[in-house]
Amino acid sequence: MTDWDDIAKRLADFGVVERDRKLATLTSFGVGGDARIVIEPFDKNSLADCIRIIWDENLPYYVIGKGTNLLVSDNGFDGIIVKIDGGIDKIEHLDGSLWHWESGASLKSAIEKCIESGFGGIEQLAGIPGSVGGATVMNASAYGVSFFDKVKSVEILSRENGIQKFSSNELEPTYRGIEIADGSIVISVDIALDRVSPELAREEIAKYLSLRAENQPIDKKSAGCIFKNPEGLYAGKLIEDAGLKGFKINDAMVSPVHSNFIVNNGKASATDIMKLIEIIRKKVFEKFSVELELEVKTLGFEL
């Protein structure tokens, strides 16, 4: 049997460690039970040291950024959450148009910092509430722009290969994903930005943020879009046309503002959200013969 207290003690040399942390507090959905351990590594070297212990002991672990695309079960996660956050959040100008962004930085702060120096071109993405690492793994996109439109290479830590740099092409970015082995950790990206006027770029950000405020329930707990858009279709439109706008199970509700968002009205459980997901899938399939695929990542469920 795993001695979690002992593991927590050993990991504490490499980051801020908490035992039995409620994952509802680390996800934008505000649901999810406890993880045995949450560690937020101090820096890139500490991350390598702590993950080495986890690998050597063959312990279950899951990497998270800001937890804005994640649905964690009410039973939580019987393992270690490695949270990539402050400490691994440097934003540096390399040369020419090239910048180095560490994965724990928030996407918004990275974009804003580069704009201060007159570099930009992905203002459309500034309203995405996740981390650089999350944007990389998800190939986050908004308003016709994808993160990998600008990312040139990605530094990844894996058990098999240690730290390796991959060109964007090698990672085969697609709609909401890249080719990355399970358990790998994105450490940083090198990203080529355009020369922009800081003033105009800030105006662009403000424009896209106000569009979001109009069209998304940003004042509610959610994980963004629940389903991927099927080829040539919009998941939100299918859900609305299936008559599910505003439909709820306890405090989990199909948002009346954007039908591809499920919002937690306060006391929803992960089970409520999962039941709602199943109903949406069933109704949309019955009506349109379309199978909706989850965009949000799930953790701790038996699927």
Give the residues lining the site for ligand FAD (CB under 6 A).
Answer: 28, 62-70, 84, 103, 128-131, 133-135, 137-138, 140-142, 185-186, 216, 218, 222-224, 297
| Smaller CB separation from ligand FAD, 171 or 283 | 171
What residues have CB less than 8 Å from 197, skipping those under 6 apart?
Answer: 118
| Smaller CB separation from ligand FAD, 131 or 283 | 131
Give the whole-angstrom CA distance, residue 97 versus residue 30: 38
Shortest Å distance, C-beta 220 to ligand FAD: 8
Shortest Å distance, C-beta 173 to ligand FAD: 12
- Closest CA relative to residue 51, chosen from 177, 136, 156: 156
Query: Beta-carbon neighbour count of residue 222 at 10 Å?
Result: 25
- Closest CA relative to residue 254, chosen from 267, 231, 272, 234: 272
- Closest CA relative to residue 63, chosen from 45, 77, 83, 38: 83
Shortest Å distance, C-beta 5 to ligand FAD: 25
Shortest Å distance, C-beta 88 to ligand FAD: 8
- Rg of the chain (C-alpha set): 20
| Smaller CB separation from ligand FAD, 91 or 142 | 142
| Smaller CB separation from ligand FAD, 40 or 272 | 40
| Smaller CB separation from ligand FAD, 144 or 232 | 144
Shortest Å distance, C-beta 48 to ligand FAD: 13
Contact 156, 129 (CB under 8 A): no
